[in-house]
Structure 1
Amino acid sequence: MLTITPFAVVATVLYLILAIGFGFKKKVSIWRQVLSLLFFAYLLVVVDITLFPIPYTHNGGDIQANNLIPFKTIMAILKDGSLSNDFSNIGGNVLLFAPFGFLIPLLFRKQNSYIKILLLGFLGTLCVESSQFMISAILGFTYRSFDVDDLICNTVGTLIGYAILRVCRYLGQKRMWVKLSPILAVVVVGGILGYEYTSHSTPERAQESMDSNVLPLVTVPLSKGVVLVTPTDPKTTTKAGYEAWYFEKSGLLGWRLKATSIDELNHSVSSLTANEQTFIWGVTGNSNAESVLYRTKGKFYKSSVNAQGIWDIVLPFTQNISSGGSLSLVLHNGKTDTLAFQTNKNNEN
């Protein structure tokens, strides 16, 4: 998994060299240098959100589909009927390019009309979407989809940012920045909150923001959220195996991690609990395994075993799995073996 870190380090070093060189040679004002730095930082944020992390291989999940039909994705999101989902997907794309329309006219005085900003915003987001398409072509699978609706939302966001700037200028040239400061503060805070929410707008993005070196192999609905099962990352833990992440949606803060558990490939059964439900899971280590049965309180709960050997069972109640039931492994030949694995406890946040 390639993160933005090496790219950001190289880009920052080059920017500082050029900024310092031009600053002394052209005697650029401090205000203009600050604006340039803000714009550079903003571009890094856009690149991070839209292009990174870049996986080296496909994780086996569903491949994203490109969309060339205007408003198809937008209408599908609106039909979902979720205001928070509308904000994260549509509003997030609009807000992402609002600073672009706000900062460009301040840095480049000739770019000071709705038509010019419209064209620049469209070209900027087209560059982003085309980069996603080209990187996907190089990888051999669609890691980020090319969506014409993203072009629409981003371009609208650029126009909104420019409109905000025009309103600020309309307030008057004298002491403009005094009048502008509350609005600018709102834009900055809104941008930070928007970025924070966008980075946690889905469980997958929230997990990526915490560990971008692994991707989910299994996604399971649980209680008020979902569980993502990923390989453990040797860069962040010495425990080799798999990890389950339980995320819940926290209003405008997006999806947040609530509990985790790790299977260390020692034929253990792991679990975590959330809101009176219990998530039991593990890795069989047996290529002949077909399914797993859990028997408790006179009832059976069944799970199939996927290609990685991962299985999971959701119990609609809180259960101490080490003493409250029994596990059986069903093989492809129909035979059944009893599972008597050591239990790993979950870590709740």
Structure 2
Amino acid sequence: MSKRNSINVLFLVSILFIIRLTMFPESSLEIGEGKGGINLVPFFTISDLLFHHSFGDFILNNIGNVVLFLPFGFFLPMRFKKIDNFSKSLLVGMLFSVSIEIVQIFMPNRWTDIDDVLLNTLGTGVGYSLFKALNKIEIYMKEG
């Protein structure tokens, strides 16, 4: 398999993994099992989980949303050469996340949450930054 094909497959897998966890119930993570709803107040869910739920729930939701989009952000600039800066990667990650949240409005057991958009966008940015950092290390190693 060529490097280009490998990148395409890994990028597609990152998207499919996101869709799997955001569109289908996952009982082991207690995702999509209860009644859904909408939260449009930034940081409400994050603070609610921090102050009114277990630390495990806080970590699962918040860190989980960041980690979920990290591979997407990592493979994004490899797949699309025009995504060549942090702002563009954040914009694409945010638009992808907003698209998911809009679909979830129409799903009875899903939450549409602005905090998910914030955390997913952060995850895309972390993934992009990790790609750039590893790319710089690779260039440095080749030069030295």
- Fold match by TM threshold 0.5: yes
Match of 2:137 in 1: 171
Residue 148 of structure 1 aligns with an amino acid whose one-letter code is: I
RMSD over aligned Cα, in angstroms? 2.1
The one-letter code sitting in structure 2 at the alignment partner of 1:108 is F
Taking a change above 3 Å as real, the CA distance of residues 76 and 115 of structure 1, as seen in their structure-2 partners, is same
Which of 77, 84, 103 is the equivalent residue of 1:112?
Answer: 84
1:189 corresponds to which residue? none
Q: Distance in 2 between matches of 1:91 and 1:103?
A: 19
Question: Distance between the aligned counterparts of 1:167 and 1:116, measured in 2?
Answer: 17
Q: Give the deviation of 1:127 after TM superposition.
A: 1.0
Which residue pairs with 2:68 in the alignment? 96
* Residue deviations 1:187-243 (CA, integer Å, cap 9, x gap): xxxxxxxxxxxxxxxxxxxxxxxxxxxxxxxxxxxxxxxxxxxxxxxxxxxxxxxxx
Structure 1 residue 171 displacement after superposition: 1.2
Structure 2 unmatched runs, 5+: 26-32
- CA distance in 1 between counterparts of 2:35 and 2:72 reads 30
- CA 80–98 in structure 1, closer or farther in 2 if over 3 Å, else same: same
Deviation, 1:31, is: 0.4
**Equivalent residue number for residue 123 of structure 2:** 157
The unaligned stretches of length 5 or more in structure 1 are 1-28, 54-60, 137-141, 177-349
Structure 2 residue 21 is matched with structure 1 residue 73: no
1:145 maps to 2:111: yes
Q: Which residue is equivalent to 2:22? A: 50
State the number of aligned residues. 136
Give 3-state SS (helix, strand or coil) of 1:132's partner: helix
- Partner amino acid, structure 1, of 2:120: N
- Relative distance call for 1:32 and 1:47 in structure 2 (3 A) is same
Q: Deviations over 1:48-101 (max 9, x none)?
A: 110014xxxxxxx96322101000000001113633222101000010001111
1:175 deviates by: 5.5
CA distance in 1: counterparts of 2:19 and 2:125, whole angstroms: 20
Looking at structure 1, the residues matched to 101 and 53 of structure 2 have their Cα atoms a distance apart, in angstroms, of: 26
Offset of residue 145 of structure 1: 1.3
Verify: 1:121 aligned to 2:87, yes or no. no
- Counterpart residue type for residue 160 of structure 1: V
SS in 2 for 1:66: strand
- Give the deviation of 1:166 after TM superposition: 1.4
Secondary structure of 2:8's match?
helix
Asked if structure 1 preserves the Cα contact closer than 8 Å seen for 2:70 and 2:127, the reply is yes
- The one-letter code matched in structure 2 to 1:117 is S
Partner of residue 241, structure 1 = none
Q: Which amino acid aligns with 1:156?
A: L
Deviation of the 1:129 alpha carbon: 0.8
Helix, strand or coil for the counterpart of 1:171?
Answer: helix
Instruction: Looking at secondary structure, tell me which structure has more helix per residue.
Output: 2
Letter in 2 for 1:84: G
Q: Percent identity?
A: 33
Shift of 1:132: 1.1
TM-score, normalized by length of structure 2? 0.85
Task: Give the Cα–Cα distance (whole angstroms) in 2 for the partners of residues 31 and 161 of structure 1.
Answer: 19
The counterpart of 1:83, out of the listed 55, 66, 76, is 55
Structure 2 Cα separation of the partners of residues 160 and 150 of structure 1: 15
| Displaced runs of 4 or more, over 4 A | none
Decide whether aligned partners of structure 1 residues 73 and 163 sit closer, same or farther in structure 2, where only a CA change above 3 A counts. same
* In 2, Cα distance between equivalents of 1:70 and 1:44: 27
Which protein, 1 or 2, shows the higher relative CO under an 8 Å CA cutoff with sep ≥ 6? Answer: 2
